Amino acid sequence: MSNIAVIGGTGYAGRHIVAEAAGRGHTVLSVARKVAGERVPGVTYVEGTLLDVPSLLAELQGVDAVVVAVAPRGDMEGLVRPNIEALASTLPESVRLGVVGGAGGSLVAPGGPRLVDSGFPEEFKAEALEMIGVLDDLQAEQSDRDWFFIHPAGGFGGFNPGERHGTYRDGGDVLVVDENGDSFISGEDFAIAVVDEIENPKHSRGRFTVGY
């Protein structure tokens, strides 16, 4: 079993990852600016923020993997990319880093354009482009750290929670869509994909998409 920290552990993606990892018997630390009102049994909850990397590092002592599930929206816009870069440069290289990105960086077809460049909603472009920048930084990193970057489906979020099916498809670089062209994955099944990647790494220093 691993010792896993989830930064943004009370948000939509984060709380599902926390619950899935704890349910599989991992030691889980949830880090968020506000402690959750509803807690998963056995999980340690602490207050912390990606905006204070030095203090965050003190909370992350002894972890095997850190998953960042913080979106660059609202008062976090423009701040997620530089602070993930700071975290990546200061974490011990033995710690695997996972980042929950948005769908915008996914390709719409093999070798094709990115979703963000293909009629993407204007109000979400800044967020998508910042997370694409996070991926660029990880790909340019010269250390020996292992990392993964996961793109959810286009219809992923608290506005469309869905149900647990226990399945998902890995689309590589390409947005996963169903036979009707819809792109969706529930919070619980997205969390399965994240914890699967931690337990059995298939995307070492790489990114992948998930959906049904």
End-to-end CA distance of the chain: 27
Q: What is the pLDDT of residues 102-153, one digit of tens each?
A: 999 999 999 999 999 998 999 999 999 999 999 999 999 989 999 999 999 9
Residue 181 has pLDDT above 90, yes or no: yes
Fold of the domain built from segment(s) 3-211: Rossmann fold (3.40.50)
Predicted confidence at residue 84, as pLDDT, reads 98
Q: List, for residues 145-179, the tens digit of each pLDDT value.
A: 999 999 999 999 999 999 999 999 999 999 999 99
The pLDDT of residue 33 is above 90: yes
Give the tokens for residue 118.
Answer: 């293909």
74 confidence band (pLDDT: 50, 70, 90):
very high
* Averaged pLDDT of the chain: 96
At 66 the three-state DSSP class reads: strand
Q: What is the DSSP string of 130-192?
A: HHHHHHHHHHH--SS--EEEEEPPTT-STTS-----S--EEEETBPP--TTS-----HHHHHH
Q: HSE on the CB side for 53, CA within 13 Å?
A: 15
pLDDT band of residue 35 (cuts 50, 70, 90) is confident
Q: Containing H/E element for 140?
A: helix 125-140
pTM, two decimals, is 0.97
Map tokens 């219809």 to a residue. Answer: 155
Q: At what angle do helices 80-90 and 125-140 cross, to 10 degrees?
A: 20
Q: What is the arithmetic mean of pLDDT over 72-92?
A: 97
